[in-house]
A and B are shown apart, each in its own frame.
Chain A
Amino acid sequence: MDEPVLELEDVHKSFGKLEVLRGIDLTVGRGDVICVIGPSGSGKSTLLRCINLLEPPERGRIVLEGRDITRARKAELNFVRRRIGMVFQQFNLFPHKTALENLTVAQRTVLDRSKDEALAKSRALLERVGLADKMGEYPERLSGGQQQRVAIARALAMNPHVMLFDEVTSALDPELVKEVLDVMRELVAEGMTMVVVTHEMGFARDVADSVAFMDGGVVVERGTPEQVLSNPGEERTRQFLGAVLGH
């Protein structure tokens, strides 16, 4: 069996007295798509922030492509973040830069790509997410769905080995959700390794290799979408799904 891309062992994280992650174990193989679901406050976002070390975990181990990155320092931190792309709920595009410049700036500064190389890469990616005609626009002139697609392209421009998605459709108007999910489905089809925190159960059911249900800072249950979403073994999972899908 291939070595896993990402391995989490007993990861703990607290903010003051609040223990947000209470021992997370998670293995992600190459090309795997893991969807993480769970009620708000269950630690899903914090989990993603720990994986790319925006929040350093207090205990446990995070192994990226066979390398223990838990205590990574400066130079190594930047190595980690180059291999892990992240897309945020609030897009976090740079408002003073055009769509194209949003993609080029890190390529130029972090990867030392030439201007031409960075521009070519950025244009190709913006075309791929359907924004060929918006390259020169500033974020405030783009719809939420367009901004989020730029954000995905910006992360992809760094050639990441793993992509993290943090509720990327939660801030979008309902009619804009599909265009973003479509881009993500394409990524799945291309074999990208992805950890997706989401409330889109339909998306999870369609594309996930496995679904993890989190509650109270632990992974309560993990299995195929069929198992977790249709025949959950745990009572807490059932309650959550009942609340989300029920009505």
Chain B
Amino acid sequence: MGIFFHQYFDLDIIRDNFSFVLAGFGQTLLLSVVGAALAMSWGLVLALLRQSPGRPMMPVRALAITYIDVLRGIPLLLVILLISGSIPFLTFLPQTLRAPDFFGKPDIFWFGVLAIALTYGAYYAEVYRAGLEGVPYGQTEAARSLGMSHAQSMRHVIVPQAIRRVIPPILNDFIALMKDTSLVQVIGYVEVVRAGREVQAETFNSSALTLGALMFIVFTVPLARLVDRLIARQQAQTRRAPV
């Protein structure tokens, strides 16, 4: 029992490496927030392209659907490796894109963020689609009957209502996204899992990884509860709504 406890919960190792692991978790949060912000925006663009009306927009819709299918169908790890191992060699790109260092963050951070945004954008596009389709058709009719164009009715009437509906599933996907940022360590970025692994390799002890797991849980469990509460509130509203 002592060996077990020592292997996962060695308080000395946890204390000595706390600030290192915490700094790693800070990078995890940064990857998550920047990645999610880009993924949410890109996902909305994809969803709107997918919903664009009329025959002339057919190729656009087909392209959006293909993109969403493909990016949901391949592992994020593969996308990370593909991007980080290829973009530096695309000599037709300007240097600032081949070796991005915006806001003082290294290129591997931005490659990781890009891979997350591209992949999760596809997931978010499907979430937004459900939200857009869930807005009653009467809303579109009302907007159009007032003379609004498709774009105007989307912007002022449909999208604001859709976003309200999809906040819970978006947050849910954010939990998954946050955990998946740990994949960026394979290209050398030190986030919380990488930090814990380095301590593990030095000490032959897993307590720093346990600490990393606890940090995740402190964040993800309250987030999951929040999602539950938002869903319960929406369901109560739906029950109250007439007809």
Contact = CB atoms under 8 A, between A and B. Distances in A.
Given A74-B149, A82-B147, A85-B145, A92 B139 contact: yes
Interface stretch (B32-40, B120-128, B152-160, B183-191): B152-160
A187 to B, nearest CB: 17
Contacts of B240: 140
Contact of B146 (A79, A95, A106, A140): A106
A99 interface: no
A154 B147 CA distance: 12
B156 A144 contact: no
Contacts of B97: none
A92 B142 contact: yes
Given A109-B152, A110-B152, A140-B241, A94 B146 contact: no
A92 B161 CA distance: 13
Nearest to A144: B242
Contact of B145 (A52, A79, A109, A140): A52
Given A88-B141, A140-B241, A171-B243, A95 B148 contact: no
A95 B161 contact: yes
Contacts of B6: none
Contacts of A144: 242
B156 A105 contact: yes
B179 interface: no
B138 interface: yes
Contacts of B152: 109-110
A204 interface: no
Nearest to B142: A92
A110 B164 contact: no
A158 B164 contact: no
A50 interface: no
A86 interface: yes
Interface in B135-178: 136, 138-139, 141-149, 152, 156-157, 160-161, 164
Contacts of B164: 96
B145 A81 contact: yes
Given A105-B156, A140-B241, A110 B141 contact: no
B137 to A, nearest CB: 9
B138 A88 contact: yes
B147 A90 contact: no
A126 interface: no
A154 B143 CA distance: 11
Interface string A95-106: 110000000011
A105 B142 CA distance: 12
B242 A88 contact: no
Interface string A109-148: 1110000000000000000000000000000100010000
Interface of B: 136, 138-139, 141-149, 152, 156-157, 160-161, 164, 240-243
Given A85-B146, A88-B138, A110-B147, 20 more contacts: A52-B145, A54-B145, A74-B149, A78-B147, A78-B149, A81-B144, A81-B146, A81-B147, A92-B139, A92-B142, A94-B143, A105-B157, A106-B147, A109-B148, A110-B148, A140-B240, A151-B142, A155-B145, A158-B146, A158-B147
Top 4 closest pairs, chain A to chain B, by CB: A92-B142, A106-B146, A92-B138, A81-B147
